[in-house]
Structure 1
Amino acid sequence: MRKGQSARPLGGMARSVRHAALAALVALAAGTGLVVGAAEAAAQVTTAPPPGAGSVVAEASAAISAGSSIPWGWNQIVVRVQNNGAQPARGEVEVTGHQYTSDEVFQASAPYTVGPSATVHVRVPVRVPSYGSFDVRVMDERLGEVRSQSFNSNGTPSVVLLDVVPASRLRAAIHEMPVAPLFLDPTSGTRGPSSSTSLMVSQANVDPATGDPLLPDRPALYASADAVLMRTDTLSRLHGAELDALAGFVLGGGTVALIVARPEDLRSQTLVSLVGGEVTGTTKSPELKQAISPTPSASGMGGRALTFAPHPKDEVGVELRGWAGGNLRPSPYGNAATYGLGEVHLLAFDPSSGPALDDPWVHVRLVDLARRAYDRRSTVVFKPGSEPARSDVNKIRRELDPNESTRWSVLLSTLILCIYAVLAGPVNFTLARQKHKPLRALWHLPLYAAAAFGTIVGIGIAARGLDGRARHLTLVEAGAGMTQGAARRYRGFFASQSEGMTVRTTDASSVVSTAVAAELSKQRDKLVVDRDGARLVNVAALPWQTVVIREDGFASLGEGISVVPTPSGGATVVNRSGRTLRAAVLVLPGGKAFLFERIADGDRVASTAGRDLSTFLDGQTWLAAVTRGRTVGSLSVHNLEAPDLGKLIGPVAPGLSDAWQAMGTAASHAADWFPDGVPTLIAQLDGGEGRRSDTGLRLESDRLLVRIVGWGGRP
């Protein structure tokens, strides 16, 4: 009920109180109890809440947080809406982000419906701005705003561990402990290579009715997390979008550390898929004896610090366990397996309870595991849901902008105008003067102007066309042999008229945002989420200008692209992607590289069947630049060196060189395109993703690039 509506009834009630009091004084002989009774009744009526007030309550929290603030990048807001009334409640959750100032840069909304005496959890994906804030409002159709909360964000790099263990006390033990990653992206902050940061332990939200964690339902929403700690019994209960999102997080380069809770969990189909086979108990890993030095406190005094512990406590040491099966290998934390671009760890200890919870030896290993997970950021060009600071997407825009291929029309139109100026001016008046009819030149001027105007319009139509169109540029990153890979899609839209477009995600697990807005329009994303997925609405599209949308999701690679070692030290590439690999470059451990013009679907080729890049000058130049690398923090990374790469693949696939250069500049300069110790294959997949239109516009170009990292797959 609005304030203006309640004033009149309250005024009438006040008059009723005064009349009752006057009647009581006149009838004093009847006793003073009437006065007291009338006053109490009036007080009860005037203080009663309006109908429906308090029947809907809500509380919001972030899926991943770092202390009192929210890490920047894609995240998820979980809103618990409880209906205490007797009628169903409907409404909407709105999240608005602001960066630096009060200017709105992002808005997301999701509807909800909750039955009487019931509770629902509304999950809203949000793009958290760096050094900004965002507000959450819960609106009810009948009651209006029932909840408003504000959160702050920051852009300070942190190592984030998401603790999904129920009732865990691990946060109190290692939260804000110093950690020194080897990888320090120079574009993400001002810290020097020797600086240390802190480990942030974020505890997952829990459904109070079931005790189950409320995890992100899209892989990109794990963007701010480096590692996830979870029990195997919790993992076995995950299903649907939450399980797909967690698997996608690891596929895209994330790390999951698992505490084996029950023997039957080792046969869980989810765990078997993650580690590549059934798991059995075995002797503990010999690498557990490896001593790990803790990072000293950056402050020197007063800051939290880990204690050096070369050995576990006796009661912890006797409980250490080992695991075997699938792709598991020994690690300093237990056993580990590679899954896609990420890692899955089976811990040798349970850090959430018992003696291990208070053991410094366990604390040091958990902090080091989180550090290792952060360092893996260097091996992923585009981590799902994150965007490198000061990313340059100008070449992406040029690649997707049809205006870039119509420069000839500007030159030709300029030439037509020059010809018109000569014909309509000196030539026209000279001919009229020679025929002694000077006024005839004035009659010819409209004819010359009409001809010039019609020619220029015709050139414009020939260059730009009459209808809008779309272009795609996508990079898929995957582990060898994997059937899916993390996809960074850049979708360009070239509209013929001014309109507010609605851009839907390619699938329900993706997130979208604006990468390049149309000129003279302000970038303000509005994301609407419903049961069909997410969509950007009211995207400003101006006539003959290109808008570029960035999307993080996943793409299919058919049955995968295998890279298996050969006894001679080379490799064999098996293409089962369903499409032809074009201009494929295979870089092997040790520095050798080979170029294949094409690898057809179903082909199985040895590395020696390709052209050895070390045998000709352009290949030597590119290979030397790649193998030389550069130091980022304490790691050596290898850049794409796209300009030199273009000289190799340009003759094989026209236009592909520009596409790789665009991707190279959009990625972080600290990305390790060719990690040491494992093979890397980069190529174009012919045919793109097989779509013909996007948002109602004809898809003019669909270029699909792929990057395969590591050994694996069926031979």
Structure 2
Amino acid sequence: MRRTFMILWAGIALTASAPIGVRAQGSEAQRARIVVEPLFGQDTLIPSGWAALVVEIENLTSSDQQGTLRAVAVRGLSEGMRRELPVQVPAHQSRRVTVPFFVRDSGDAVQFGFEVDGLTLATGRVGIPYRGAERAVVVFGDPPRLRGSLLGLETDGRLSSGAPVGVVHLDPLTSDPALPEDAALWSPVQLLVVSAPMLERVSAPQRRALEDWIITGGIMLVFPRTEADLRRPWLRSLAGELASDGEPLPVSSLHPAGGVRFGLRCVDGQRQERFGCSRNVGFGRVFVAAHDGTSPSAIETATAREIVIALLNDSQRSAMFRPSPGLLFARGMDEGRPSFPAIRRLLDPNEGYWPALVLVALALMFYVLLVGPLNFRWIEKQNKPTLALITTPLIALGCVLVLLVVGYLGKGVTMRYRRVELVDLAEGSSRAAARRYTGLFSTRPGRFDIHLEPGVRARQILASGMPAQHRSSGDDRLLAGFRAGLWETSFVREDRMLAVGGELRLERDGDRIAELVNGTRLDLLGVVLVDEHGGLFSLGDVAAGARAEVPIEVDGSIGTGSIYPRNPRSVRQLARLVGGSDDDLQAEFLAIAQNLVPFLPVGSSVIYARLETDGADIGPFSEDSDTRFVRIVPTPAGSPVQPAATSAPEISPL
């Protein structure tokens, strides 16, 4: 009995100790660790846009690890966007990598893996939570103590469900800020609140990305600490000359009575605010406060919080009554809209190509006649019924060959692409956002790669199988592994910023736009002005460096309230003026107008034109069609921002 008890006790001890031994072995075998977080914090990870995901890879071994970081979007059992980039991590050190990724929907996740010699050493994952807010507020300060006073922001309930708050992190060794070097990665941010001295720590690539974000609709609020901050060159290049010899502003909920205050005086091109001055920068705006909102006294009085809420409310209300901001950050305005098939029909030769359809219909009709009445009449004359066992398969085979020939005649044997682009340019800006859709038509099954232009954020859309993979190696970036079947079209969406070589100005006669001055290097073709009443004014072609007067006589009207042009009739007149007599150009403009909404003005003016194209080198694909349109939006000064206590105007349903 005692011996049996000892054996049983030994068995229990071995069973209990086994998992401990397995865990210890797994810990010793672990060679790397991955931690993933959004650049500005978990709260700023918002769906339907580009995001910067910071991946920290820790090498737990005593040797350097040269491997590949792979990322894939996961939703249930399906996979979406994929990325791949080389990474080298020294022994017993960590490496931080910023991975640009398009965050699609709430409930998705992005899975990361660090691979060396085909072996996955570590994995990490970040989920996409549901966010009621559209975009976030980010605090840029050292320390970012202002963030605490901004938590739990609630803006006008009819327009938004509030805004999450993130921070700009600083390197613990160098104190350099972790900011995006690509404008698209600012996509989750609506408002940046920055302490003026921090602007000097921003590198040149980060400055360009930040400027582009403002140009495409971003809002930056700057709190100076001293009068010397008002003379910082980069701040002046954005906000204009800042004079500090003005009268102190009256005390209000947006401007405190105590603390550090400045006699800020607004000059030409700036707008006087209740708390300082502001200036248009493209579609966005830069605000400079006449006090230090990051000081402890200002935080205690919640002045900065009131300003942030007022700016968010003003931005949301203004968006309801003017053309949409830059397309690069127009969240949700993409291929997910029900109207996207209008663009797809333009890019896909398989849809709407009537000559091929006519040839196929004729071939099928001929087959029906041949295999039916003609075949059996011939067999009847030969008086040999068994011949049908031979003639019918031969006729079917011949018809298949005819259909293949018709297919090649109708769809061709040349790999080709169709492309349409809309450039979004604000008055007075030398840079513009652009969105481009490309249809790649393949006449043979297989895989192919596409090299991307510098500064372009691209992704495959509407993929029937596994989408192409983004690969980066130095400055070389490509979409690799496109899978295409016979006569199949693959679609790519590209977002980018481009320099237009100068500024486009609009001269005014009172409230009326009287003249267009084209200071860019772009030749504008078929220029049409749509005024705030829906009237159409044709200006013809305006070459680079030229100017054109706006005629007094109207050339047509699209009516008012055309913010959602679901019915093509409402913009057909405009399409005729912009596209001229070319039916294809008219159809392309209509497709752009239907997909990228809100596209037409409500209570404001906007200008449309065509741009010349130079073609593109897209691997084995030759050009079939390439069309570019430009939208030019006036940027009036507008009215000063009102405190949140001021009642907002009623907004009727659209």
When normalised by structure 1's length, the TM-score is 0.75
- Give the partner amino acid of 2:40: I
Counterpart of 1:256 in structure 2 is 220
Counterpart of 1:655 in structure 2 is 584
Give matches, 1:21-420, under 5 Å.
Answer: 58-65=34-41, 67=43, 70-81=46-57, 87-99=63-75, 101-115=76-90, 120-137=95-112, 139=114, 141=116, 144-146=120-122, 148-180=124-156, 194=158, 196-261=160-225, 263=227, 265-275=229-239, 277-283=240-246, 310=253, 312-316=255-259, 319-325=261-267, 327-375=269-317, 379-380=324-325, 382-384=327-329, 386-388=331-333, 390-392=336-338, 393-420=340-367
Any conservation in 1 of the 2:527–2:538 contact (CA below 8 Å)? yes
1:552 correspondence with 2:495: yes
Counterpart of 1:605 in structure 2 is 548
The alpha carbon displacement at 1:173 in A equals 1.0
- Give the partner amino acid of 1:645: V
- Give the partner amino acid of 1:336: S
Whole-angstrom distance in 2 between the partners of 1:427 and 1:57: 74
Give matches, 1:281-680, under 5 Å.
Answer: 281-283=244-246, 310=253, 312-316=255-259, 319-325=261-267, 327-375=269-317, 379-380=324-325, 382-384=327-329, 386-388=331-333, 390-392=336-338, 393-423=340-370, 425-427=372-374, 430=377, 455-507=402-454, 509-517=455-463, 521-522=464-465, 524=467, 526-532=469-475, 534-566=477-509, 569-589=512-532, 592-608=535-551, 612-613=554-555, 619-620=556-557, 622=558, 624=559, 627-629=560-562, 642-650=568-576, 651-668=580-597, 671=598, 673-674=600-601, 676-677=603-604, 679-680=605-606
The alpha carbon displacement at 1:485 in A equals 0.8
Whole-angstrom distance in 2 between the partners of 1:216 and 1:676: 35
CA gap 1:643/1:530 in 2 versus in 1, 3 angstroms = farther
CA gap 1:81/1:348 in 2 versus in 1, 3 angstroms = farther
The alpha carbon displacement at 1:215 in A equals 1.3
Whole-angstrom distance in 2 between the partners of 1:562 and 1:488: 23
Whole-angstrom distance in 1 between the partners of 2:125 and 2:270: 45
Counterpart of 2:643 in structure 1 is none
Whole-angstrom distance in 1 between the partners of 2:214 and 2:490: 31
- Give the partner amino acid of 1:480: E
Counterpart secondary structure, 2:162: strand
Whole-angstrom distance in 2 between the partners of 1:573 and 1:270: 29
- Give the partner amino acid of 2:601: F
The alpha carbon displacement at 1:646 in A equals 1.9
- Give the partner amino acid of 2:630: V
The alpha carbon displacement at 1:375 in A equals 4.8
1:466-500 Cα distance to aligned partner (Å, 9 max, x none): 12111111111111242321111111111112223
- Give the partner amino acid of 1:674: P
Q: Point out the more displaced range, 218-227 or 236-245.
A: 236-245
Any conservation in 2 of the 1:642–1:660 contact (CA below 8 Å)? no
Moved over 6 A (4+): 46-54, 431-451
CA gap 1:96/1:333 in 2 versus in 1, 3 angstroms = farther
Whole-angstrom distance in 1 between the partners of 2:71 and 2:461: 20
The alpha carbon displacement at 1:594 in A equals 0.7
- Give the partner amino acid of 2:625: S
Whole-angstrom distance in 1 between the partners of 2:451 and 2:318: 31
CA gap 1:652/1:65 in 2 versus in 1, 3 angstroms = farther
Counterpart of 1:710 in structure 2 is 634
Whole-angstrom distance in 2 between the partners of 1:555 and 1:576: 15
1:63-87 Cα distance to aligned partner (Å, 9 max, x none): 1346396555211111234568764
- Give the partner amino acid of 2:156: A
Whole-angstrom distance in 1 between the partners of 2:108 and 2:379: 72
Whole-angstrom distance in 2 between the partners of 1:430 and 1:116: 85
Task: Give aligned pairs, total.
Answer: 605
Counterpart of 1:7 in structure 2 is none
Any conservation in 2 of the 1:526–1:536 contact (CA below 8 Å)? yes
- Give the partner amino acid of 2:276: G
Q: Alignment partner for residue 681 of structure 1, among 593, 607, 612?
A: 607
Counterpart of 1:185 in structure 2 is none
Counterpart of 1:3 in structure 2 is none
- Give the partner amino acid of 2:629: L
Whole-angstrom distance in 2 between the partners of 1:442 and 1:88: 72
The alpha carbon displacement at 1:528 in A equals 2.9
Any conservation in 1 of the 2:220–2:285 contact (CA below 8 Å)? yes
1:587-611 Cα distance to aligned partner (Å, 9 max, x none): 23565431234333343111117x6
The alpha carbon displacement at 1:115 in A equals 4.1
- Give the partner amino acid of 1:131: S
CA gap 1:136/1:431 in 2 versus in 1, 3 angstroms = closer
CA gap 1:168/1:251 in 2 versus in 1, 3 angstroms = same
Gaps of 5+ in 1: 1-45, 182-193, 292-309, 614-618, 630-636
Give the greater-gyration-radius structure (CA).
Answer: 1
- Give the partner amino acid of 1:332: R
1:315-361 Cα distance to aligned partner (Å, 9 max, x none): 14x61442545632212342111111111111222222231111133
RMSD: 3.7
Any conservation in 2 of the 1:137–1:147 contact (CA below 8 Å)? yes
Percent identity of the aligned residues?
21
CA gap 1:261/1:80 in 2 versus in 1, 3 angstroms = farther
